[in-house]
Amino acid sequence: MASRDIMPWISPLGGTYEVRWGSMTAGEVFEVGEPIGVVDAGTLTEPAGATASVVVGDFDGGTGGIAAYGPGAGNIDPATGAAMATGASVPFWPFGQGTQFITDNFFATGDTTTAVVPAQTDVGEHYKMNQAAAATAWGLEQTAALSGVDLVCRVTEVLDVNFAPIRITSAAGVYLVFEIDAPTLAAA
């Protein structure tokens, strides 16, 4: 898996980096910039992925976020100086706090093998979060997210290669800036 697929974004207009902490579930390998959720046991775990959309069922009570650190790729636990183990404290940027996130991973509708160039028409859309078919990157899929089912990611800006809004530069889109709604289950 890739590191830093999804990161918090602070624009010249503002933003926030609220950080929360949770303990790690056994056997996790997530990296910085990957989605994580809180399961019923109260520990952090990575959603199923591998071309499956991130769904509300991956989270307990809407708690989760984007990992600010993780046990993948031989990362060392800063508290112990050893490999990260079950119960290690992991920081994450939470969902539903108005935090803006940024990614350059944008997949075609129903096809997580094909990259899409973001356009100004993507601003305001609600897309699914998904993992590439090769399980190498997390990003947004150009498929409408269903509230109460999918993790809803609302695109707020499209940026060019220089991180400038394409609505100003008219350059090709490269990055999507988006907010992630706090997951809530659909009524039964």
pLDDT digits (tens, 9 = 90+) for 73-124: 778 888 888 888 888 899 999 888 888 999 999 999 887 788 999 999 999 9
Domain that holds residue 150: 100-180
Q: pLDDT tens for the chain, 188 residues: list them.
A: 467 889 888 876 666 678 888 888 888 888 899 998 887 777 888 887 555 677 777 776 667 889 998 888 778 888 888 888 888 899 999 888 888 999 999 999 887 788 999 999 999 999 999 888 777 789 999 999 888 888 889 999 999 999 999 999 999 999 999 998 877 655 44
Domain contains 150:
yes
Domain contains 127:
yes
Domain contains 9:
no
Q: Calculate the average pLDDT of the chain.
A: 85
Structural domains of the chain, count: 1
Domain contains 108:
yes
The string of DSSP letters for 6-47 reads SEE--BTTB-----EEEEEPTT----TTSEEEE-TTSEEE--
Domain contains 76:
no
Domain contains 135:
yes
Q: In degrees rounded to 5, what are phi and psi of residue 22? A: -145, 170
Neighbours of 9 (CB within 10 A): 20
Say how many CA atoms lie within 13 Å of 183 toward its Cβ. 25
